């Protein structure tokens, strides 16, 4: 060996052993590590941890306030939702009652005036079928417009494009029927 021994460092080996007799092995290890760590670095870490703790506490307080506000608004929205649900249920009952009365009135009218009711019912069916046809034509026209705009480049490259509008015939007139006024018994 190069001559470094416990006696040459200024103490005897028995003095070093006596010094560590009062400590356990983990305590000795921690003391050794504490001597190796720079104290300024430790202080910097502690300061940054305190700063982060303050920020987390502020953030936590803000979240608690936000949760309290959200809970209050949720309660208000829940009450409004329940009121609106009850109103819609009531309206549904009213509408069902109205349609039931209308069916009852139609049945009475068809029994009292069967010929007039049949003519009026036929006119209504014609009008309904005409409206359905117009809706289908509108859907076809919109589909045609979409396809023609998406293929506009192809149309401009061709020499000529002929688009003819469908022939529209005037719809037949609905027949008007006078229904005599009967006494109301609702």
Tell me the CB-side half-sphere exposure of residue 116, using CA atoms within 13 A: 13
R_g of the chain computed on alpha carbons: 47
Q: Which residues contact 110 (CB under 8 A, 6 or more apart)?
A: 117, 118
> Quick one: pLDDT band at residue 171, thresholds 50, 70, 90?
very low
Collapsing DSSP to helix, strand or coil, 176 comes out as coil
pLDDT per residue over 113-127, tens digit each? 888 878 888 888 899
Angle at 129 between CA 147 and CA 167, to 5 degrees: 50
CA atoms of 23 and 38, how far apart (whole Å) = 23
Specify the pTM. 0.41
Contact indicator for 162, 155 with CB cutoff of 8 Å: no
Q: Which of 21-25, 72-76, 147-151 has the highest mean pLDDT?
A: 72-76
pLDDT per residue over 60-96, tens digit each? 999 999 999 999 999 999 999 999 999 999 999 999 9
Take residue 77 and report the two structure tokens written for it.
Answer: 């929205």
Least confident piece of the model among 29-38, 52-61, 94-103, 175-184: 175-184
């Amino acid at each position: 060996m190069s001559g470094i021994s416990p006696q040459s460092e200024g103490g005897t080996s028995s003095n070093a052993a006596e010094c560590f007799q009062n400590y356990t092995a983990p305590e000795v290890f921690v003391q050794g590590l504490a001597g190796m760590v720079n104290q300024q670095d430790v202080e910097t870490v502690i300061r940054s941890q305190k700063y982060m703790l303050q920020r987390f506490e502020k953030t936590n307080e803000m979240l608690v306030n936000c949760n309290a506000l959200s809970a209050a608004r949720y309660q208000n929205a829940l009450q409004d939702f329940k009121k609106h649900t009850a109103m819609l249920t009531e309206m549904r009952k009213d509408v069902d009652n109205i349609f039931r009365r209308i069916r009852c009135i139609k049945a009475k009218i068809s029994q009292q005036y069967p010929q007039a009711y049949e003519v009026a019912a036929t006119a209504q069916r014609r009008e309904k079928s005409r409206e359905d046809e117009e809706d289908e034509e509108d859907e076809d026209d919109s589909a045609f417009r979409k396809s023609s705009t998406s293929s506009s480049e192809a149309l401009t490259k061709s020499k000529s494009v002929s688009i003819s509008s469908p022939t529209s015939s005037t719809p037949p007139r609905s027949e008007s029927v006078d229904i005599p006024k009967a006494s109301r018994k609702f």
